[in-house]
Amino acid sequence: MARTERNQQGHKAPATDESQPFLSDIQELRRRAREHIEAGAVTPSYDANRTLVLQVLNQALATELVCVLRYRRHYFMADGVLAEAVKREFLTHAEEEQAHADQIAERIVQLGGAPDFNPEGLATRSHSEYREGGSSLVQMIKEDLVAERVAIESYREIIQFVGIHDPTTRRMLESILAKEEEHAEELRSMLEDVAQVLGEKQQRSNGGN
C-alpha cells in the first residue's frame, strides 16, 4: 500500500508504491517522457553509447544484406541432381536474412539513426565477405557456412558490447543469433550429405572403369 512519510525537515515525501520499489516516481517518469519527445524511443534512461550502437547495427545490416545477395546467387546458380533440395534451403535462408536486415533497419530508425543501404561500400561495412563459390554446389555451401560462422562470432561480440545498456537491441540480436546458429547447423548437415552422395557417386564411377 502506498504511504506518505516525512523527511527530516518535516515535509511530506513523495508517495511510493512498496509493491514496485524499482520504479521511478510516476510523476518523474511522466516528466521525462515529455522531454525531448522528438527522440521517440530514446528516452533519458537510455545509457548505451548510441553513436557506437548505430555504427555496429549498420555493420550488422550490411552483413545481412551481403548474405541475402550471396544466398540468392547460389539459389539461381545451383544446378544438378542434388540441387533442388539445396536450392530451397538457399532461398529460405535468403528470406530469413532479409527479415533480419529489416529488423535491424527498423531498430536503427527507432534509435534515431538512418539505416545505410548504400551499395557503395556495402562489402566493406559487412563483417562477412561476398564470395560466390563458383559453380560447385559443395563450394557454395562452404562459403555460406563460413559466412554464417562469421556472423555468429560478430553477433556474440555485439551482444556483449550492448550488454544491459540496451536490452531491446540485445534481445533482437539474440534472436537473430539463434537463427544464424540454426543456419550454420543446417549448412553443416547439408554439406555432409552432399559430400557423401558425391563421394558415393564418384566411387561407383571409378568402379565402373
**What's the rounded Cα separation, in Å, for the pair 53 and 165?**
10
For residues 51 and 42, is the Cβ–Cβ distance under 8 A? Answer: no
Residue-wise pLDDT for 114-131, tens only, equals 999 999 999 999 999 998
Residue-wise pLDDT for 14-59, tens only, equals 444 455 444 556 566 556 545 554 544 554 556 778 899 999 999 9
For residues 77 and 93, is the Cβ–Cβ distance under 8 A? Answer: no
**Cα–Cα distances in Å, from 208 out to 116, 146, 201?**
56, 36, 11
Q: At what angle do helices 83-110 and 137-162 cross, to 10 degrees?
A: 20
Q: Average pLDDT over the chain, rounded to whole?
A: 81
pTM: 0.76
Percent of the chain whose predicted confidence (pLDDT) is above 90: 57
Say if residue 98's pLDDT is above 60: yes
Which segments of the chain belong to CATH 1.20.1260.10? 50-207
pLDDT score of 206: 61
Q: Does domain 50-207 have CATH number 3.30.1340.10?
A: no
